[in-house]
Chains A and B, each alone.
Chain A
């Protein structure tokens, strides 16, 4: 850590005129979960950093309507920095309870069955599923006037086809799908999805390969490889893609794991090649920076956007809006990014990050990478894709 750097180089102004020096920022980052940065911090520095977030929370609460005592979040597993929540609780006195799910479909299943009685206020759907949720009446429209910090959002991440005008949702973060591999074991060139499949067949790799537990991401490997848009409605193309996967990839896959980095599969040596989301791959890289290599493959890959939304049946609507306002505060947004490893949608959030954030290249996409990323919208071939996925899983098991 180079303390001779002029603090003026990075003039950061926390909301409401609370000047925050670069050193305090790094302390704040250091106060975050284990294994992210290894910077020593004093208790005083950490306290200063969190107090900035607490102030943001208090201010967000002021602009909301009538706040309540509790807030219930239904989100992906450990998808937010714990200090984000503690700062909110300290600043507003409102407790946050969290439920979790590991797939959009499971979340939709529960919300549909419960018809608003599940008790959750906020839910975090991936973009492609929003039209479906809106059609099924699972979301409440947002009241933008209660979210002043909406203006902090990068316009490039607003107004997606799945929610024109951002009627229901605010982008939370976005990321991509790629693969990560143990470069001490795999030494060949690894740039395309074809390379992924070829490498999986190598003797020292076969049987230690994981792919994402998601029908679309798996089918996509073949579709992207052939240059087909993975939103295709062409059933014949989907069948061909699946057959190719069954022939070339299925014999070598050992696990369907959506979190190979975070849950230790890569670090423990269980996997040497994994399809992964960038933030999760970063977890493995943080533990073993020299052992692994992350790739955003050619010719195409995915961009997904996760969003904050209000669930139907929410009892704490105004509090939820206050929370959205809080989460869009740049300091809070940067705090989230350090933990999750995913880029948030707040404009210029990059300038709020510490200079030496580990494995930064995994979080931020280059322009070249962005050009080859495509988002997915759930469509009518949904049932067929699940069938094919089951066939693929059966092929692995036999």
Chain B
């Protein structure tokens, strides 16, 4: 797409920038994973005298496994919910609104996130607290519950996660949906396709790039999030991010925390790459079957 020279210079610039401000610092942290935590009476964070994999083995022991499973379940479910909620909203914004209203509605989606994050979670807690606003509202309409017990449960964690990440799915999806050439849709309509078929064969496949972007933007950071699940789910909001954070914060065990972080990053990258390969494989399989069908039709004539 870009000229080769331009592409090369852009790529070098990008690598240089991220190498300086991300790869270097994070790399140092991750090297700690191979060292040993300094004792509480030693200066420095990590003892790098004998490097080894002991932290990784320790990271894999209980409770990492079960907590990781729960975290993955939560993240997959929450991401799917975000996607399901985001698609109609993104479609509406991108294709059903004029340019000016589009900007306004997009702003509306982002606006609530300009209040402080902690306070928004607090707002949820006040709303969902056992004798809080939801309790009051339900009583006002005649539904007399003893007390609301949504808070500090897995359901509350889901509410918090979906709430915080939905805009991250809506925006990239809307951006891609907006780009779809109406002429393509016009052509399909002229050829006699029904509206749902047009969506299924034209709009949705083209929007996949947006769905992928949205999924990555939501699922990846969500898995490492520990503040949201803790604030909403209390002790039941334990996700893998909390374990890692507690090694850094409470345990002062930087090596172990770094090792767990590496494992998390590797798992996430593996999942993303696997999905990408899968989608490429699926796409080429579909194309192959369609081409064979067309060839068969042509041979029959």
Contact = CB atoms under 8 A, between A and B. Distances in A.
Contacts of A383: 37, 251-253, 256
Contacts of A135: 40-43
Interface in B15-57: 37, 39-45
A395 B130 CA distance: 24
B252 A394 contact: no
A105 B251 CA distance: 7
Interface stretch (A26-34, A248-256, A292-300): A248-256
A137 interface: yes
Contacts of B147: 269
Summarize A's interface: helix, strand, loop or mixed.
helix
A383 B253 CA distance: 7
A254 B152 contact: yes
Contacts of B130: 208, 268-270
Interface stretch (B61-69, B167-175, B177-185): B61-69
B66 A398 contact: yes
Given A136-B42, A268-B131, A383-B37, A393 B238 contact: yes
A233 interface: no
Contacts, number: 104
A347 B152 CA distance: 43
Main DSSP-derived SS at the B contact region: loop
Contact of A394 (B45, B238, B247): B238
A132 B40 contact: yes
B235 A256 contact: yes
A391 B250 contact: no
A228 interface: no
Nearest to B131: A269
B132 A268 contact: yes
A109 B249 contact: yes
A268 B251 contact: no
B164 interface: no
Nearest to A384: B251
* Most chain B Cβ neighbours within 10 Å, of A268, A389, A397: A397
B236 A396 contact: yes
Interface string A241-272: 00000000000011111000000000011100
B252 A397 contact: no
Contact of A109 (B40, B238, B252): B252
A396 to B, nearest CB: 4
Contacts of A257: 234
A375 B220 CA distance: 43
B250 A397 contact: no
A232 interface: no
A208 to B, nearest CB: 8
Contacts of B252: 105, 108-109, 382-383, 386
Interface residues of B, number: 37
Contacts of B238: 393-394, 396-397
Contact of A103 (B37, B40, B249): B249
Interface string B183-201: 0000000000000000000
A268 B133 CA distance: 11
B67 A394 contact: yes
A132 B243 CA distance: 23
A112 interface: yes
A390 B40 contact: no
Contacts of A253: 235
B250 A389 contact: yes
Contacts of B37: 383
Contacts of A380: 39-40
B183 to A, nearest CB: 53
A397 B251 contact: no
Interface in B209-264: 234-238, 242-243, 246-253, 256
Nearest to B130: A269
Given A136-B43, A137-B43, A397 B249 contact: no
Given A135-B43, A270-B151, A390 B249 contact: no
Nearest to A386: B251
B76 interface: no
Contacts of B248: 109
Given A383-B251, A394-B238, A269 B129 contact: yes
A103 B249 CA distance: 8
Nearest to B45: A112
B62 A391 contact: yes
B11 interface: no
Contacts of A112: 44-45
B70 interface: yes
Contact of A132 (B41, B246, B256): B41
A106 interface: yes
B149 interface: yes
Nearest to A131: B41
A13 interface: no
Contacts of B41: 131-132, 135
B63 A396 contact: no
B154 to A, nearest CB: 9
B250 A105 contact: yes
Given A255-B234, A269-B131, A386 B63 contact: no
Interface in B256-281: 256
A2 B131 CA distance: 38
B55 to A, nearest CB: 11
Interface string A356-398: 0000000000000000000000111011001101110111111
Interface in A139-173: none
Nearest to B238: A397
Contacts of A268: 129-132
Given A257-B234, A391-B62, A394-B66, 12 more contacts: A112-B45, A135-B40, A135-B41, A136-B42, A215-B251, A254-B234, A269-B130, A269-B147, A386-B250, A389-B246, A390-B243, A394-B243
Closest 3 CB pairs of A and B: A386-B251, A394-B63, A397-B238
24 contacts: A109-B252, A131-B41, A135-B43, A136-B44, A215-B250, A254-B234, A254-B235, A255-B234, A255-B235, A268-B130, A268-B131, A269-B129, A270-B152, A380-B39, A382-B251, A383-B253, A389-B250, A390-B243, A393-B235, A394-B62, A394-B63, A394-B66, A396-B235, A398-B70
Interface of A: 103, 105-106, 108-109, 112-113, 131-132, 135-137, 207-208, 214-215, 253-257, 268-270, 378-380, 382-383, 386-387, 389-391, 393-398
